[in-house]
Amino acid sequence: MQICLSFPFRLISKDNFKCYNRSGRFYLSDKFKTFEKNAAIFAKMQYNGGILISNLEVEIIAYYKNKKHSDTGNLSKGCLDALEKIIYKNDNQIKRLSVTVYEKSQEEKFEIKIKEIK
């Protein structure tokens, strides 16, 4: 079984939205919190199965209108965290991960494909 999710907004990196208070403690910006909340909402709208507990393979495909986006290696963390407790128990179940970026796309969106592996 493969779960395919589509998100009609820009994929952003969690690292780019970490902020620090005066005492040096980090917190996530409101922009990232909104992204994470929207990703969870769209995932819940598309998936109504049980929470997966096995090992997983995940493919993330991000579409951008231009070349201005986070490094490919930093894109996965935020969206994978948003799917915890909705699709899978914990993102440490992900044993294979691929991230593909397409630039010069007509719209900014991303897709996630999740497959259980034995």
- pLDDT of 87 over the 90 cut: yes
pLDDT at 20: 65
At 105 the three-state DSSP class reads coil
pLDDT at 92: 95
Query: For the segment 39-85, what is each residue's pLDDT rounded down to a tens digit?
Result: 999 999 999 999 999 999 999 999 999 877 667 788 899 899 999 99
pLDDT at 27: 63
Q: Which pLDDT band, with edges at 50, 70 and 90, does 4 fall under?
A: very high
Instruction: From 98, 78, 86, select the one nearest 41 (Cα to Cα).
Output: 86
Tell me how far apart the alpha carbons of residues 70 and 90 are, in angstroms, rounded to a whole number: 24
Q: Which of 23-37, 47-61, 87-101 shows the lowest per-residue confidence on average (mean pLDDT)?
A: 23-37
Tell me how far apart the alpha carbons of residues 26 and 44 are, in angstroms, rounded to a whole number: 28
For the entire predicted model, the pTM comes to 0.88
pLDDT at 41: 97
Express as a percent the part of the chain with pLDDT over 90: 69
Q: Which pLDDT band, with edges at 50, 70 and 90, does 28 fall under?
A: low
pLDDT at 111: 98
Q: Quickly list DSSP for 13-81.
A: -SGGGEEE-TTS-EEE-HHHHHHHHHHHHHHHHH--SPPB-S-EEEEEEEE-SSS-S--GGGSHHHHHH
